[in-house]
Structure 1
């Protein structure tokens, strides 16, 4: 019965976060008159948080493979907290910031044929990474939440089975988050 409640809770949180991200990304909510200056540091902060989470996930794997459950658990909790900070920062940035388009050299919001040619085939690589990153970021949240629940409850067998899928997806999302930032950052015009 408790697992059923947790599963529903995780589903509700995951759907709520997804809907919130979509609504804020659509930029339909009113923005403050004065945009905080910290806004322009958020993409770099997001990349730092994602990169840190990538390293922590690798460290977590190392420690569990060497039987150190206590350190593994602490690292995962820290990674989870940093991922939550990332999510807040990401949502805030995409709510307040003007849209940035890959290849938009002059910042006018339109990709001219010359700009598309200048971006070249790397534009397709960027979109492939971005699309897979976004899809898997939406998928990984409920997996992470359930993995945490099973791990903290010491339901080791359920935790292991779920982490078999959660870990590589979470690692992919954190690594590609950094790559997306590195690829799009030359086109920020703020």
Structure 2
């Protein structure tokens, strides 16, 4: 039986899990410059949001270390920070794509297939991870740590993969950014 904390947040989990990818997809396709707005391309953002992805990966690893060593409050704070970093990443990612033309990957041969495999799995898991993170967080809020731990064992490797591959995708495409 779910407790009231979980009931309170369940609707929001599903609304956000659907709305975030839909809104990002819509905004990704909106280029303010092509619509005639006089905005400067935010071309400085990709290395910043790639760095945020890297920091997120480190924070997730330290958070797991913290909980395994009985440091619950540190774990809690690190997880809140990881969520904040992910929100910051998302805002910068959307802002960049709304003001800049998409960069095409210029690699050839096997590296091209590796890049697209990493990119596609990164994108798909970045969508799938949203409800996992939110559900895991709400289970902790509800103090249902048995369920929290069970879901976190699935959410953690996915989130870590998304964070790490975000950096890898940036490093692989960065030589092709217009300067």
Aligned to 2:161: 172
* Distance (Å, rounded) in 2 between the aligned partners of 1:28 and 1:8: 31
CA contact 2:129–2:159 (8 Å) conserved in 1: yes
TM-score if structure 1 supplies the norm length? Answer: 0.86
**Which of 132, 139, 155 matches 2:121?**
132
Aligned to 2:88: 85
Whether 2:158 is the aligned partner of 1:187: answer no
SS at match of 2:43: helix
SS at match of 1:146: helix
Alignment RMSD (CA, Å): 1.7
CA contact 2:53–2:164 (8 Å) conserved in 1: yes
**Which of 99, 103, 117 matches 1:100?**
103
TM-score if structure 2 supplies the norm length? Answer: 0.91
Whether 2:58 is the aligned partner of 1:51: answer no
* Distance (Å, rounded) in 2 between the aligned partners of 1:90 and 1:32: 21
Whether 2:40 is the aligned partner of 1:36: answer yes
* Distance (Å, rounded) in 1 between the aligned partners of 2:39 and 2:53: 24
* Distance (Å, rounded) in 1 between the aligned partners of 2:40 and 2:73: 40
* Distance (Å, rounded) in 1 between the aligned partners of 2:61 and 2:104: 32
- List alignment gaps of at least 5 residues for structure 1: 104-117
May I ask how many residue pairs the two structures share in their alignment? Answer: 175
* Distance (Å, rounded) in 1 between the aligned partners of 2:108 and 2:46: 21
* Distance (Å, rounded) in 1 between the aligned partners of 2:117 and 2:155: 21
SS at match of 1:119: coil
**Which of 66, 70, 75 matches 1:67?**
70
Deviation of 1:22 after TM superposition, in Å, equals 0.8
Listed one character per residue, the Cα deviations across residues 17-51 of structure 1 (whole Å, up to 9, x for unaligned) are 111111112227675623235x1111011111000
